[in-house]
Structure 1
Amino acid sequence: MAIRDFVACGVEPIEQALMPFQEFFRSKTTSGVLLIVSALTALVWANSPWAASYDGLWQTEFTVGFGAAALSKPVILWVNDGLMALFFFVVGLEIKREFLVGELSSRSQAVLPIAAAIGGMVVPASLFALVNLGEPSLAGWGIPMATDIAFALGILALLGDRVPYQIKIFLTAVAIVDDIGSILVIALFYTADISFPMLGAGAACLALAFAANRMGVRSPVFYALAGCLLWFFVLKSGVHSTVAGVLMALAIPARTRCDAEAFSVNAARVLRDYRDAAGPGESVLTNGDMHSALLSMQRIVARAQTPLQRLVHGLHPLVDYIIMPLFALANAGVALSGGIQAPAAPAALGTALGLVLGKPAGIVLMVLLIIRFSEGYPRGVTLRHFVGAGMLGGIGFTMSLFIATLAFGRDPVLLAGAKTAVLGASLAAGLGGFLVLRGAPRSRSPNA
């Protein structure tokens, strides 16, 4: 809710000064803008006379802990293995919410985006594999599978009511299913040698978190501690540590402690107590009854919410405005002066074809198949809208860069070629999707 809604309570000068910045960070396009700025900064920095400082910064060793419990890793691995685990935690929370109450909660709603997402993963991966058969770069087949929903929704927001509301929901659901597929690919195919004792310890932490959920534990501190332990054990097990974020998200409670009627009754009672206690000239600093009523209202509001909702709301700014831009800054710095070297050409070509052609082709083909056996297109939606959405699905950026680092982390030549292709293909897919949707008939849907 905007600060302007609280004018009756008084707005401090600092709140008025910060209001434009708060409005900027509430915009749907902001996270996409920050990602673009971070990626461009990384590219310029990595191709400038100060390129050595760019590489030196991210390869600097950083140690957390002490003694036998110390972890020493380059800064870039703390970003990719540590901070990105929090990104995947938020992704996991959104996946859980979608399956409980969102677009994936019923079979009729879920069929179209799930089918489209599967097509949008299989076709790009297959194209990459065909181009890279017999090459060392075949390991990167998972790179063109994912969709960067921050960029995609940012472009849809720029288009406004030219895009039906149903397409925005469709693309969000496709991206959620994409994320599930990418997480499974990371867990199953991009792991090192597995340490079963460490994996068992992680499973015990996860079981404890699920048991605490069943027992009614709702403290964020408890789940934060359990999540840190799970992350550590998964990291040491050989499975990529970001998987721990998704698994812990599934253990977060998604139930309220009071329904809407109970909340209304209790809130009305507390508000009445507050009004009765608030006499002329009274201050909450000196009036214990007023302060007690405010504390009661806080407890009532907390019981009416779910821990899942509070965590999504609280962590989204951290993920959108700090972690993802920092990831882009750390991973998008590719030296372009030498071009794509010959050994990396198949990986670059497979990535570009997968994102620019394979992604929209897979999505649209599955949409046509499902529409063929259903009641037709949703009201106000045309094939052109799905084509544009499919092209926006080719904006791989964050997840594609992430999988590229997993696939080619030990081969700088292949990694540089794949990253260059991801950046170029994501730009082409975004621009193409924007132009296709911009030329579509303006939506007449009342929900647009």
Structure 2
Amino acid sequence: MKLTKTFKAFFENEKSGGIILLFVTILSLYLANSTFQAPYISFWEKQIAGHSLTHWINDGLMTIFFLLIGLELEREIYHGELSNLKNASLPIMAAFGGMLVPAGIFLALNFGTATQNGAGIPMATDIAFAIGILSLLGNKVPASLKVFLTALAVIDDLGAIIVIAIFYTTSISFLNLGIALGIWALLFILNRMKIHNLIPYLIGGALMWYFMLNSGVHATITGVILAFVIPFGDGSEKTSSYRLQHLLHQPVAFFILPLFAVANTCLPISSNWHSELSHPNTLGIILGLVIGKPLGIVLFSSVGITAGLCTLPKNLRWTHILGAGMLGGIGFTMSIFITVLAFKDPQIIVFSKIAILIASFLAGIIGFLYLKYILNKNPQIVSDEE
């Protein structure tokens, strides 16, 4: 399978970004539980214009991350793995399974309780971490597995965005929402008029973010819907969409996501943290990510192929899909993001984040060791240029 130049750049950035995420997460956990604990925690809680620094990162900077996800999704739809329904159907089916089964496991343990709102937490996959771990396996990884895992994770993130928009919106100001959508409509008209200058789109996007923030719908949704009015054209390097996507890759991978990770893993861990591991919420998150993800991905992929809805790409085996499912259990960024939206109780948020870290660590280690064994047992060096 031949990988495009854009895909390679995205894969490389996510790979490096995943390694940095791991480093800053460990550093943040260390500082939050060291002699620097008090000043470190208070720094992230510092109020700016009525909101904490962490809140500005989560609701502001993460919008840029979602903009990049939207641009990646748009490119996949027009020119990538999702441009052909036959090719797209397998990661789409896998993503559905990877969202529904973990959510089902969580609800089975938490339905009717105060924590049932956390069902969206184990539905997510962290692209950077998943790709980062996959890249550690070197050139033995088939190109088709790289594409499958990346497409799966992008669709997964889209699903998480939809879940956020539908289930984690408490009250809506229709006036502000209407203004935000009105701005989007104006940008769409600019797109149809073939205006390719990025400045009006970025200014309009900033205004749209402000009104979306005050509408009750989570402001980060702005990033995704803005991506689809940025002129795509023929998708070449000269187009507005490509230029913006290329511009955002490194700032997102090396600044925004690490900053998000640091701010949201500022967790003082008490000596009795393990006492909460038997709580339905914690169990639901861990079992959903570690067991539910691979189970759902393999199960729904199998159903799709058996029903004739999709086919297994060349060089992609069922053992690879299972391995991708295991890496899909690395929730981290999106899981933490949904946790902050799902719960108001600081204690529940802390223990949910600990559960996410445990589950993501287990999923990453198990997925890496499993794929390493499979790829060494059946070595096949598959060039990206094939």
TM-score (ref. length: structure 1): 0.79
2-side partners of 1:183 and 1:26: how far apart?
24
Q: CA deviation at 1:26?
A: 6.0
Q: Per-residue displacement from partner, 1:249-281 (whole Å, max 9, x unpaired)? A: 111000159x9xxxxxxxxxxxxxxxxxxxxxx
Q: Please, which of 343, 347, 356 is the counterpart of residue 281 of structure 2?
A: 347
Specify the SS of the correspondent of 1:386: helix
1-side partners of 2:307 and 2:220: how far apart?
38
Contact 1:128 1:350 in 2 (8 A): yes
Q: Which residue of 1 aligns with 2:3?
A: none
Q: CA deviation at 1:50?
A: 2.0
2-side partners of 1:93 and 1:112: how far apart?
21
Contact 1:43 1:335 in 2 (8 A): yes
Q: Which residue of 2 aligns with 1:114?
A: 92
| 1:80-119 equivalences in 2 (<5 Å) | 80-119=58-97
Contact 2:33 2:269 in 1 (8 A): yes
Specify the SS of the correspondent of 1:252: coil
Contact 1:162 1:437 in 2 (8 A): no
2-side partners of 1:49 and 1:28: how far apart?
33
| 1:309-324 equivalences in 2 (<5 Å) | 309-324=242-257
Q: CA deviation at 1:321?
A: 0.3
Q: Which residue of 1 aligns with 2:43?
A: 57
Q: Quick one: structure 1 residues 183 and 344, their matched pair in 2 at CA, closer, same or farther if it must change by over 3 Å?
A: farther
Q: Which residue of 1 aligns with 2:379?
A: 442
Q: Which residue of 2 aligns with 1:365?
A: 299
Contact 2:15 2:135 in 1 (8 A): yes
2:107 is aligned with 1:142 = no
TM-score (ref. length: structure 2): 0.92
Specify the SS of the correspondent of 2:242: helix
Q: Quick one: structure 1 residues 137 and 47, their matched pair in 2 at CA, closer, same or farther if it must change by over 3 Å?
A: same
2-side partners of 1:310 and 1:74: how far apart?
32
Letter in 2 for 1:360: P
Q: CA deviation at 1:380?
A: 2.5
Superposed CA RMSD? 2.0
Moved more, 248-257 or 422-431: 248-257
Q: Which residue of 2 aligns with 1:291?
A: none
1-side partners of 2:368 and 2:92: how far apart?
23
2-side partners of 1:89 and 1:81: how far apart?
13
2-side partners of 1:173 and 1:126: how far apart?
23
Q: Please, which of 15, 19, 26 is the counterpart of residue 33 of structure 1?
A: 19
2:152 is aligned with 1:170 = no
Letter in 1 for 2:55: L
Identity of aligned residues (%): 45
Q: Per-residue displacement from partner, 1:357-392 (whole Å, max 9, x unpaired)? A: 000000011122223344864333322111111000
Contact 1:163 1:385 in 2 (8 A): no
Specify the SS of the correspondent of 1:141: helix
Letter in 1 for 2:17: S
Contact 2:331 2:356 in 1 (8 A): yes
Specify the SS of the correspondent of 1:237: coil
Contact 2:28 2:266 in 1 (8 A): yes
Contact 1:364 1:387 in 2 (8 A): yes
2-side partners of 1:445 and 1:50: how far apart?
48
Contact 2:293 2:325 in 1 (8 A): yes
Q: Which residue of 1 aligns with 2:167?
A: 189
| 1:213-252 equivalences in 2 (<5 Å) | 213-252=191-230
Contact 2:13 2:250 in 1 (8 A): no
Q: Which residue of 2 aligns with 1:381?
A: 316
Specify the SS of the correspondent of 2:48: strand
Contact 1:345 1:417 in 2 (8 A): no
Q: Which residue of 1 aligns with 2:5?
A: none
1-side partners of 2:358 and 2:40: how far apart?
21
Contact 1:42 1:329 in 2 (8 A): yes
2-side partners of 1:79 and 1:124: how far apart?
27
2-side partners of 1:173 and 1:377: how far apart?
14
Contact 1:385 1:437 in 2 (8 A): yes
Q: Per-residue displacement from partner, 1:99-150 (whole Å, max 9, x unpaired)? A: 1111111110111110000000000001011111221011000001111111
Q: CA deviation at 1:165?
A: 0.9
Letter in 1 for 2:367: G
Which runs of no fewer than 5 residues in structure 2 stay unpaired? 1-8
Contact 1:384 1:436 in 2 (8 A): no
1-side partners of 2:66 and 2:311: how far apart?
35
Q: Per-residue displacement from partner, 1:214-243 (whole Å, max 9, x unpaired)? A: 111111211111000000000000000000
Specify the SS of the correspondent of 1:400: helix
Q: CA deviation at 1:162?
A: 2.3
Q: Please, which of 220, 231, 251 is the counterpart of residue 253 of structure 1?
A: 231
Contact 2:90 2:311 in 1 (8 A): no
Specify the SS of the correspondent of 1:333: coil
Q: Quick one: structure 1 residues 62 and 36, their matched pair in 2 at CA, closer, same or farther if it must change by over 3 Å?
A: same
Q: Please, which of 353, 356, 369 is the counterpart of residue 422 of structure 1?
A: 356
Q: CA deviation at 1:305?
A: 1.4
Specify the SS of the correspondent of 2:51: strand
Contact 2:276 2:282 in 1 (8 A): no
